[in-house]
């Protein structure tokens, strides 16, 4: 059983991960807004569940692509890969 200190460390790590993901998500939206005049929130459903590393890669993609359509195609490919690697299921807990 972990000590209280170990529990606090783990809680701190989880909070850090969430804050890092949120910061990267905000950065990605800023890039999309500046480059393609996207309205904030347009991609919320598609970004949901993506981890920090995927969001970092998408930020790089958003800086490199020539059009919003190209970004959306890459996003669809990346989301598809993530879903293939770790499919979500409500039955996972059973």
Q: Give, for all 94 residues of the chain, the pLDDT tens digit.
A: 889 999 999 999 999 999 999 999 999 999 999 999 998 788 999 999 899 999 999 999 999 999 999 999 999 999 988 878 765 544 444 4
pTM value is 0.80
User: Given this model, what pLDDT does residue 32 score?
Assistant: 97
Residues sharing a CB contact under 8 Å with residue 71, sequence separation 6 or more, in sequence order = 32, 36, 58, 61, 62, 65
Q: How many helices (H) and strands (E) does the chain have?
A: 4, 0
Domain assignments of the chain as residue spans, ordered by start: 13-84
């Amino acid at each position: 059983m972990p000590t209280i200190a170990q529990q606090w460390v783990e809680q701190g790590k989880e909070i850090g991960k969430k804050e890092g993901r949120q910061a990267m998500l905000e950065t990605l939206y800023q890039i999309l807004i500046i480059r393609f005049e996207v309205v904030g929130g347009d991609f919320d459903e598609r970004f949901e569940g993506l981890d920090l590393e995927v969001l970092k890669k998408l930020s790089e993609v958003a800086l490199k692509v020539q059009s919003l359509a190209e970004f959306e195609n890459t996003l669809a490919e990346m989301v598809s890969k993530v879903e293939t690697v770790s499919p979500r299921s409500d039955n996972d807990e059973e």
